[in-house]
Amino acid sequence: MDVAANHLNSLDLPGAPEQCRVVVAMSGGVDSSVVAALLKEQGYDVVGVTMQLYDQGEAEHRPGSCCAGQDIFDARQAASRLGIPHYVLDYETRFRAKVIDAFAQSYADGETPIPCVTCNQQIKFTDLFDMARDLGADALATGHYIASRADGAGRALYRAKDSDRDQSYFLFATTREQLQMLRFPLGEMSKPEVREHARRFGLAIADKPDSQDICFVPTGRYSDIVERLAPQAAAPGEIVHVDGRVLGRHSGVMHYTIGQRRGLGLGSAGASAGEPLYVVKIDAAKARVTVGPRSALATKQVALRDVNWIGPGALEDVAAAGLEIAVRVRSTRPPVPAVLESRNGEICVEFVDDESGVAPGQACVFYENAEPRARVLGGGFIRSTQAATMAVEPLSRAASA
């Protein structure tokens, strides 16, 4: 028996590191560069791959971008420093079709999109997977702050050790099949530790700023892209109070998101309302923005679409029975108690305590519990919300037990 072939290395792969090829998705930032350096140091056969996702010229001199211009140069320089092969793949056409166009349409539909999730789901963990396999890779590693560990014959996702850097919210759509090949070496590290490794390896980008969320907006004004690709999002309309009063006019639903308080454009009309006003509803079909007091933001339940389940058992079974979980509806919020259920053929989440400012288009990510290192169970995109003031059917057996 070949003992070495049956030994699992640090990536939970059989055999010695030098027998395993690992493709590292290198964005040009410090995180993915350190991943490549650490794996190279451990003896793995490392290949760096950088995806060009949008026009290099527009983003070349803008700090905080990724996957274009200076970032491609930085990734190439890091790979050269490490002595590993490096390839640049042109995914600009696919990125525009799958991410940028979808981003604009989501705003036109009155939603608040999260393009980073779409990019991971539609580009990085699909097209890049195919390229990694073509290169003969045993694993695909990224610089995300999230942990994965063996779970029987499969693998499970967990929140990162560094809760301030945890990126599980953006990776809920990762499938069981993808988890088999994906590895996240930074899941057990803090950002300062990563930067210290970068300095140890002599990487020029050790102190490079983190990338921005919306990487493909070169001017920082997402409305410019939305108006060009989905002009209906710029159609003017009414701003109305929840009590029915028309308070003013707006220049397009794309300028608003649920929970927004500043920049409503109401002037004296807003001041005369006698209380701070927030966006509580966006009706894109009628080009209408509804505002109201903070209490009107309270949400009791959300219905989800495109749900991905990577927890134990089958989604249909756990939702039918009702499952107590924790969820996040914004990347900046901590997980809160909720109940996952199936209602009228839809997967829904009911919050134990009302959540505020929940926006369609955002993700609702499932966790086993609210603990810092909790397992990620999946999630879905918020299709619709139900205000706390509306009647809600009785909770499931799991919640009322």
Strands 346-356, 298-309: pairing is antiparallel
CB 197 within 8 A of CB 37: yes
Residue 58 in this model has a pLDDT that exceeds 90: no
Residue 2 in this model has a pLDDT that exceeds 50: no
Residue 398 in this model has a pLDDT that exceeds 50: no
pLDDT digits (tens, 9 = 90+) for 251-260: 999 999 999 9
Q: Which residues contact 262 (CB under 8 A, 6 or more apart)?
A: none
Residue 187 corresponds to which tokens in the numbers above?
């899941």
Q: What is the pLDDT of residue 221?
A: 81
Q: What is the pLDDT of residue 4?
A: 45
Q: Which residues contact 73 (CB under 8 A, 6 or more apart)?
A: 28
Q: Which residues contact 295 (CB under 8 A, 6 or more apart)?
A: none
Whole-Å CA distances, 40 to 30, 37, 146, 384: 15, 5, 20, 46
Residue 224 in this model has a pLDDT that exceeds 80: yes
Q: What is the pLDDT of residue 401?
A: 35
Q: What is the pLDDT of residue 6?
A: 58
Instruction: Show contacts of 10-18: CB within 8 Å, 24+ apart.
Output: 10/42, 11/39, 11/44, 11/138, 11/139, 11/141, 11/183, 12/150, 12/155, 12/183, 13/138, 13/139, 16/43, 17/42, 17/43, 17/44, 18/43, 18/44, 18/45
Binned at pLDDT 50, 70 and 90, residue 104 comes out as: very high
Binned at pLDDT 50, 70 and 90, residue 273 comes out as: low
Give this prediction's pTM: 0.89
Q: What is the pLDDT of residue 1?
A: 35
User: Which residues are catalytic, by number?
Assistant: 119, 215
Q: State mean pLDDT over 289-312.
A: 96
**Alpha helix segments (H runs only) across 182-267:** 191-200, 222-229
Residue 375 in this model has a pLDDT that exceeds 60: yes
Q: What is the pLDDT of residue 394?
A: 43
Q: Which of 41-55, 212-226, 274-288, 328-342 has the lowest mean pLDDT?
A: 212-226
Binned at pLDDT 50, 70 and 90, residue 132 comes out as: very high
Closest CA to 135 of 48, 236, 238, 30: 48
Q: What is the pLDDT of residue 229?
A: 95
Residue identified by tokens 């999946």 is 378
pLDDT digits (tens, 9 = 90+) for 3-35: 444 589 999 999 999 999 999 999 999 999 999
Q: What is the pLDDT of residue 395?
A: 42
The per-residue pLDDT of the chain, averaged, comes to 90
Q: State mean pLDDT over 332-347.
A: 95
Q: What is the pLDDT of residue 68?
A: 56
Q: Which of 51-55, 88-92, 119-123, 271-275 has the lowest mean pLDDT?
A: 271-275
Q: State mean pLDDT over 103-112.
A: 95
Rounded to the nearest angstrom, the gap between the alpha carbon of residue 72 and the centroid of all alpha carbons in its chain is 22
Q: What is the pLDDT of residue 268?
A: 63
User: For residues 333 and 268, which has the higher predicted lDDT (pLDDT)?
Assistant: 333
Q: What is the pLDDT of residue 266?
A: 87
pLDDT digits (tens, 9 = 90+) for 184-214: 999 999 999 999 999 999 999 999 988 765 7
Binned at pLDDT 50, 70 and 90, residue 390 comes out as: low
Q: What is the pLDDT of residue 214?
A: 76
Q: What is the pLDDT of residue 213?
A: 59
Residue 135 in this model has a pLDDT that exceeds 90: yes
